[in-house]
Chain A
């Protein structure tokens, strides 16, 4: 069971070899065994999961099953889930039971996919190591002394340990791709606007995008079919025709032009990561691809631009957490302002506070032009570089992160050092382009290495085609941590 792909699980369910309840119970048992050491889940509610699985079994029995009906999935604790604790990894929401479903949750419910629980994450998705969670750090299943990456660290770790066959994540600056890379799984951040943000607790609204995390590209394509689509409740949701993201999986790669941005292979990239990515390029060439050198000259500015724009949007979005309508309220206070200030001081963790302060500062009178407006202008230069690059290539390839997983605590005292992890992932968020990470090897310590693909707008099917063909030729994505099999 832990090795099965989503399509294999769906086939077993359709053939009545296993029921959704039995399948859910098998994963719940695995969670009960493995999660205490990994801490990938904030909330597990076996009773609720089994009820949802029983409903899926009824759909299957009645002949009303969809492609993934009965296959269970874990959801990042950033998605409001009716009746489930939804914390966003924060003390300020430690007691928040959502009264409605996020659109993404509605999609998976409509597909008949039971929820295995809510996965751990960096507080409000702010972090690259999953160490900022109020509910404790997640451990990397490949070596529990190392971080799983973040912010969707619980999602990546639960899939890597096969505690769930798949999970949802969100990506504002790399939060699907970087943990996917560090945990040796496949993750995809779609084109901005393809997946509704309704009910997904907002961090930086112009960058946030939800996506699938699973062992393989084929799994991700199936999940993307479920979670994409127009939603009138998200003002930035794109009204486009539904696509089948599996349609191009089996196409040959003959004639594919792979763009290699020289800035992504420059100083700062770990040698073992560079070697693994180079080897993946050679593999794609064997499959018929050609390479072309491209330049994303302004991408080196992506981190400074991001650390102006994302905190600015966050400082506005997080002003809703005031201890009045939901969540934590400080026990003692003198007046309304004191209640706000104490609630927020006690309810938010250090990294979230830092980002709110940066945001408040760059938006304040006298600094707006120098910071916020300048960052928005450079954002356009970064997006223009991609537009130029896609004139000469079909997909851009590089490393997902500059290195493999680092030790717990190694970077948690130095915010700037932590921020540099997202050097290669942030540019796609700023441009709104789709990006994905897939496993392409291991370092000498046995930790996974991630390969990143960035596609043009709405080219998810093409990226998934490239990733699937690569995964047919290699077996990195099907490797599992020793001892957890």
Chain B
């Protein structure tokens, strides 16, 4: 299989990365050579094998329902590109 330029533009849109036609063309060739490498795993018979998502069988721990964090919003918002009245500013999304 190989990706078309439209495929590249579609996944770039999904990933929210602006991509020009020229960039999509260059990326297409590189992604196809990477998927050529990835394709070697398709020949392996994995029927009956359980997928392995993690190295250790651990489960989500539960903690006591108690406040453990202090209010540090001023420190956290000090590194934001745009804030006002304790809120993050983004372009208008609702008219």
Stretch at the interface among A195-203, A286-294, A370-378, A461-469: A370-378
Q: Assess whether A356 is in contact with B51, with CB atoms less than 8 Å apart.
A: no
Interface of A is mostly: helix
How far, in whole Å, are A295 and B82 apart by their CA atoms in the complex? 56
Expressed in whole angstroms, the minimum distance between the Cβ of B65 and any Cβ of chain A is 14
Question: What is the interface residue range for chain B against chain A?
Answer: 35 or more
Would you call B86 an interface residue if the criterion is a C-beta within 8 Å of the partner chain's C-beta atoms?
A: no
Of A159-167, A252-260, A323-331, the one touching chain B: A323-331
| B51–A415 touching, CB < 8 Å | no
Interface flag for B67 (CB, 8 Å): no
Partner of B81, one of A303, A329, A381, A432: A329
Whole-angstrom distance between the Cβ of B12 and the nearest chain A Cβ: 6
Binary A-proximity of B61-91 (CB < 8 A = 1, otherwise 0): 1010000000010011011111000001011
Please judge, given known A-B contacts A232-B61, A336-B93, A353-B17, whether A377 and B49 are in contact too, CB under 8 Å: yes
Q: Decide: A99 and B56 in contact? CB cutoff 8 A.
A: no
Q: Which of B27, B55, B61, B81 contacts A324 (CB 8 A)?
A: B81
* Structural contact, B79 and A341, CB atoms closer than 8 A: no
User: Which residues does B use to contact A, with CB under 8 Å?
Assistant: 3, 7-8, 11-19, 27, 30-31, 33-42, 44, 46, 49-56, 58, 60-61, 63, 72, 75-76, 78-82, 88, 90-93
User: Can you give 26 contacting A-B residue pairs, CB < 8 Å?
Assistant: A193-B56, A232-B61, A232-B63, A301-B40, A304-B39, A307-B37, A322-B16, A327-B81, A329-B81, A329-B82, A336-B90, A338-B18, A341-B17, A344-B17, A345-B17, A354-B30, A357-B17, A357-B27, A358-B35, A364-B11, A374-B41, A377-B51, A377-B52, A380-B49, A419-B37, A430-B55
**A contacts, CB < 8 Å to B:** 95-97, 99-100, 192-193, 206, 232, 235-236, 238, 298, 301, 303-305, 307-308, 315, 319, 322-329, 333-342, 344-345, 348, 353-354, 356-361, 364, 370-371, 373-381, 383, 414-416, 419, 430-433
